[in-house]
Structure 1
């Protein structure tokens, strides 16, 4: 698994991760979903990255670890999750922004007090749906502990759209770069207008 996250360009991986499953074994049971939205962060050169200019703290240390390390952090009291990309010492990351639920849906609805597409259509939303309430698993490895990433695609996007990242303000040229990738038409993509939702195929082939 580590090789997957270390042997391709970060921008390419952010697109390739779409259609893989991401799952979490928790005290509440198994949660799983298809990745439908990601954002790439290019480390020290990227003004929107937590490791911009080589910033390295105990909190963001997982970004500096081997590819496939979990990095959990808080934004305005919400939790988000990145996966570290590239070899140890190169602090690139990919934010998992949204998931299409597959397993544990009833418990997700309870955890979020929501139903339908609102359960997991955003980075903090799916984390809350999965019952992740703190950063205790930050620094753990994918496919070794609680979190698993499927080695193969479970679904193939019909079309991938590239857009600017969300919430990256006043950081040009990085604000405008198309570094967010979505499965076109998938209703679980964050901030997707109803008119753009494909409710027949959810954007998969």
Structure 2
């Protein structure tokens, strides 16, 4: 699986990850969802990246590891998760921004104290829904320990939209670049207006 995250351009992988399932096995049980929203971060050249200009710290070291390494980090009081992309030493990442739940929904709702699309329609929301409350699993590999990523797409998007990333301010030209990818119409996409939701197929073929 590691090769999947090393054998294509980061932007292409950010699109291709849509429709794959992401699973977490924890002491609360198994949580799983379909990836419906991602953002690409292009390492040292990308002003919005944690590794911009070659910044390398103990915290962001997972980005410098082999493709498929989990990188968990804090944004204010929330936790987000990137997957490292490309071979070790090239610190690109893809942020998993939103998931459509497929297993463990009841516990997710309890963890979030929410129901409906609000449970997992944002990067910190799905992390909280999955019961991830610290960074202890940062640096672990996908498909080796608690986290796994499906070999193949479980669902195929009808249409993929590319938009600017969310929350990247005052970093032109990077603020305006279309580096966020969503399953068009999927109601679990973050900040999606109700009028844009496809409640029949959720945007899948």
TM-score band by shorter chain is over 0.9
CA distance in 2, matches of 1:28, 1:70: 20
Tell me the equivalent position of 2:175.
175
Tell me the equivalent position of 1:43.
43
Tell me the equivalent position of 2:92.
92
CA distance in 1, matches of 2:140, 2:76: 23
CA deviations on 1:111-151 (whole Å, 9 max, x unpaired) are 00000000000000000000000000000000000000000
Following superposition of structure 1 onto structure 2, how do residues 61-100 of structure 1 map, counting pairs within 5 Å?
Answer: 61-100=61-100
Shift of 1:75: 0.1
Shift of 1:68: 0.0
Instruction: Please give the TM-score of this superposition, normalised by the length of structure 1.
Output: 1.00
Structure 1 vs Structure 2 CA RMSD: 0.2
Instruction: Please give the TM-score of this superposition, normalised by the length of structure 2.
Output: 1.00
Q: Secondary structure at the match of 1:57?
A: coil
Shift of 1:200: 0.1
CA deviations on 1:32-78 (whole Å, 9 max, x unpaired) are 00000000000000000000000000000000000000000000110
Structure 1 residue runs without a partner (length 5+): none
1:146 is the counterpart of 2:124: no
CA distance in 2, matches of 1:51, 1:155: 32
1:20 is the counterpart of 2:20: yes
Tell me the equivalent position of 1:60.
60
Q: Secondary structure at the match of 2:3?
A: coil
